[in-house]
A and B are shown apart, each in its own frame.
Chain A
Amino acid sequence: MTLETVGFWVVAVVLLASSLAVVLTPNLFHAVLYLAAALVATGVIFLLLDQPFLFAVQLLLYAGGVVTIVVFAIMLTERLVGERIRQTSRHLVNGAIVAAAVFAGVAGFLLQAPLTTVRPQPAADATVAIGRALVGPFAVTLLLLGVLLVTALLGALHFARGEE
């Protein structure tokens, strides 16, 4: 039982538990909090995969930005109605069956595929390489991403503005 194995299993359990909680909690606000936990757990997985940079990005953008946005949205919609939004699910069994079937399908393919279990040597610091790649071969994509973000910003502004 190496440290790596233990760490993986712990993080995996946390991730799965919080994910289940996200989709099963009646209270929406709690669901968001559980989502934050799940996102952080994902970040730790990135760490386990020797990607500290991505861990940082995950925490910043996801756990930080997205969760904040969702919390705000919930508060806004809640306040407009003036009560706590009850969150119930329906057709649990149907959904569970479908989701399970999808998992079975994916896992079936996975386990049939010849996948390596050995980690190669960690490359040089990925961060520098990522940085060089972003302004090198992926420069155009980066710029397009910028355009996308501006567009999203404008769109969100427009929608949130309401009637004038």
Chain B
Amino acid sequence: MIGLPSYLVLAALVFSIGLFGVLTRRNAVGILLGIELMLNAVNINLVAFARFNGDLTGLIFTLFTISITVAEIAVGLAIVIAIFRVRRTVEADRLDLLRG
């Protein structure tokens, strides 16, 4: 029986995989892809809860999350391009100006 736990475990798996991507990818764009996966997993969670608890709020929340993600990706990539222009690299290891 495919119940709520199954969906949640699936979302957790996708989340972890996305986290792995964020932690290990060298390219900045690659990191952003990992973030995408994590947000995706969150959406699955939200919709599953909305379906199994009969609550509409989860669906609304998902809509908003998707929209915000789009905005964030747009701005993030713009920043990546701007950084690339200045520093000629998007390798995350090289972008350590905030080093203490």
Contacts and interface: CB of A to CB of B under 8 A. Distances in A.
User: In the complex, are there CB atoms of A and B closer than 8 Å?
Assistant: yes
A61 B73 CA distance: 11
A19 B25 contact: no
Contacts of B1: 5, 117-118
Nearest to A146: B67
Nearest to A127: B59
21 contacts: A5-B1, A19-B13, A35-B37, A39-B40, A49-B48, A49-B51, A51-B59, A58-B66, A76-B81, A85-B27, A92-B24, A99-B17, A100-B16, A103-B12, A103-B16, A115-B8, A133-B56, A145-B67, A152-B71, A156-B75, A162-B82
A19 B59 contact: no
Contacts of B14: 15-16, 19, 38
Contacts, number: 226
Interface of B: 1-10, 12-21, 23-27, 29-30, 32-34, 36-37, 40, 43-44, 47-48, 50-52, 54, 56, 59-60, 62-64, 66-75, 77-82, 84-85, 88, 90, 93
B27 A28 contact: yes
Interface residues on A, range: 35 or more
Contacts of A157: 78
B23 A95 contact: yes
B32 to A, nearest CB: 7
